Amino acid sequence: MRTIVVVGTMGSDPYAGMAWMHMQIVAGLRRLGHDAYYFETTSAWPYDPTRCARVRDSDYTIPYLKKVTESFGLGDYWAYRHSYTDKSWVNLSRRRGEDLLAHADAVFNVAGATRFAEEYLDVGRLIYFGTDPVTHEIQYLNGQEDIVNLVDEHDEFVTYGENIGNPDCPLPPFENLRARTRQPILLDLWQGDRLTGRFYNTVCNWRQTGKDIRFNGEIYHWSKHHEFLKFLNLPTRIGRPIELAMGLSNITNEDQAILKAAGWQLVDAHAFTTEPWAYRDYVRRSRAEFTVAKDQNVRLRSGWFSERSACYLAAGRPVITQDTGFGVSLPTGRGLFAFNTMDEILAAHNAIESNYQRHSRAAQEIAEEYFCAKKVLAKLLDDLGL
């Protein structure tokens, strides 16, 4: 049995996708028999969705963390540190929390989001757990000082960019990359609802500014709206609406009108994305997922795959998603389809509708073989020598 601390930002960014990302790692490790904990020690102010702002208190954060961890059976295995104020600890004592960070067999820093050096926290074996590859790799390569300092804190690296380092991906991996892995999914929590919904859908953000990045003289975009607009007429082409669930307050009336005129159904995601189980139910009520990826992952062919899409697969919902090079690691063409062109989307849609049950079963089989938390995490720990 190993002691592993997963450090993340689930409470600071209290949305369902973040909850599932962190909890499936921690709960998956515990199911393997390890002494795993979820910690939040970031100095960033947490976001409060009721006040729609970053705030210098934990009035929303602590009850949210308590509710979510308890719902995953982790009520005794989490801690929160008020790093941005008095450095006090919640749910575990300061002595216990600092001892675990210093002496655990491994500390996974999810997305490299927590900067331990600036908080003077002693960490033993610190592993950068790269769930969102490309940005930090390029910023490090470009010599961005704050990112260089952050990255250099870590002893080893893990990435969801399974194609990074291969000949068709120009992005160099971090030095001392120990493992390429993928999202661990707690399959039993996604299965069970066999009623098929009406819509192909996805959960997404629209325009996100300030995160584009330059690499080898080219600009690579973060915001997914660039990719959605390439396939704006898709609902007309397939003869059915596609539902986009997003924060409608963050999309202009003009953009909403453009999407609606092209046949996209828009749903305000706020009602179900602040609660992980409501988010799960939304996914399970779909017919299939259609989605795009960030330009950064598409053009650089990082091999990244969406955790949300993996959850659709686990629920037995076929997935049509933009090609990022993930076909080097995952099977495509049955239950899961990668596309680069409109014609490839249309062919995938026609295949699914010609035998929906076949592709639903195939989606679930892919999840069971490639995303099962026990399999994924056991291999990861083996790659890390744990």
3-class SS string, 23-86: HHHHHHHHHCCCEEEEEECCCCCCEECCCCEECCCCCCHHHHHHHHHHHCCCCCCEEEECCCCC
Model pLDDT, residue 210: 86
**Angle at 96 (CA atoms; ends 92, 100), nearest 5 degrees:** 110
pLDDT tens digits for 271-298? 899 999 999 999 999 999 999 999 999 9
Which of 128, 127, 133, 83 lies closest to 298, judged by CA?
Answer: 133
Cβ proximity of 178 and 130 under 8 Å:
no
Which residue is listed with tokens 């719902």? 71
Distance CA 330, CA 267 (A): 30
Instruction: Name the stretches of the chain with pLDDT < 70.
Output: 193-195
Distance CA 73, CA 71 (A): 6
Distance CA 300, CA 321 (A): 16
Distance CA 38, CA 278 (A): 22
Answer whether 0.85 is exceeded by the pTM. Answer: yes
Distance CA 35, CA 116 (A): 21
Cβ proximity of 33 and 378 under 8 Å:
no
Q: Compute the mean pLDDT over every residue in the chain, rounded to the nearest whole number.
A: 95
- Hey, CA dihedral for 2, 114, 297, 315, is it positive or negative? positive
Q: Within the chain, where are the H helices?
A: 16-31, 61-71, 94-103, 135-141, 145-152, 225-230, 234-238, 253-261, 270-273, 276-284, 295-300, 307-314, 342-354, 356-366, 373-383
Please, what is the end-to-end C-alpha distance for the chain in angstroms? 9
Cβ proximity of 180 and 159 under 8 Å:
yes
- Give the other-Cβ count within 10 Å of 169's Cβ: 22
Classify each residue of 63-80 as buried b or exposed e, where b means 16 or more C-beta atoms within 10 Å of its C-beta. Answer: ebbbebbeebebeebbbb
CATH 3.40.50.2000 segments of the chain: 187-371
pLDDT tens digits for 333-356? 999 999 999 999 999 999 999 999
Model pLDDT, residue 271: 84
Domain 187-371: what homologous superfamily?
Glycogen Phosphorylase B; (3.40.50.2000)
Provide the percentage of residues in the chain whose pLDDT is more than 70: 99
Distance CA 335, CA 363 (A): 4
CATH of 3-186+373-383, one of 3.40.50, 3.90.25, 3.90.550, 3.30.160: 3.40.50
